Amino acid sequence: MSVSAALLAAGLVGSPAVAKHVGRHVVMVPCKDIKAALASGKSEEDVQKELKVSAKRVKSCTAPAPAKQGKKSDKKT
């Protein structure tokens, strides 16, 4: 490894751009917690702020589940 390559590698490893992402752990708030907060009378905006979730996450938890499409049975009667 040449000296310039070593300096470049050391510069990249110690750069603030890389350090900014180190130690960032994203915790997904369960839908159960979001639904419970909404059921207690809080608004969607309050839930977003208190649980630190996006509007998209709140909507995905409160949207009705899509209808399941099963296989057509080939029963002969």
Whether residue 41 is contained in a domain is answered as yes
Whether residue 18 is contained in a domain is answered as no
Residue with tokens 């589940």: 65
Whether residue 14 is contained in a domain is answered as no
Q: Give me the pLDDT at residue 69, please.
A: 76
In this prediction the pTM is 0.54
Whether residue 39 is contained in a domain is answered as yes
Q: How far is CA 72 from CA 1, 49, 65, in A?
A: 64, 45, 21
Whether residue 13 is contained in a domain is answered as no
The whole domain housing 33 covers 23-63
User: How many structural domains compose the chain?
Assistant: 1
Whether residue 70 is contained in a domain is answered as no
Whether residue 8 is contained in a domain is answered as no
Give the integer Cα–Cα distance in Å for 39 and 32: 10
Q: Give me the pLDDT at residue 65, please.
A: 78
Q: Give me the pLDDT at residue 38, please.
A: 96
Give the integer Cα–Cα distance in Å for 58 and 38: 9
Q: What is the pLDDT of residues 39-67, one digit of tens each?
A: 999 999 999 999 999 999 999 999 987 77
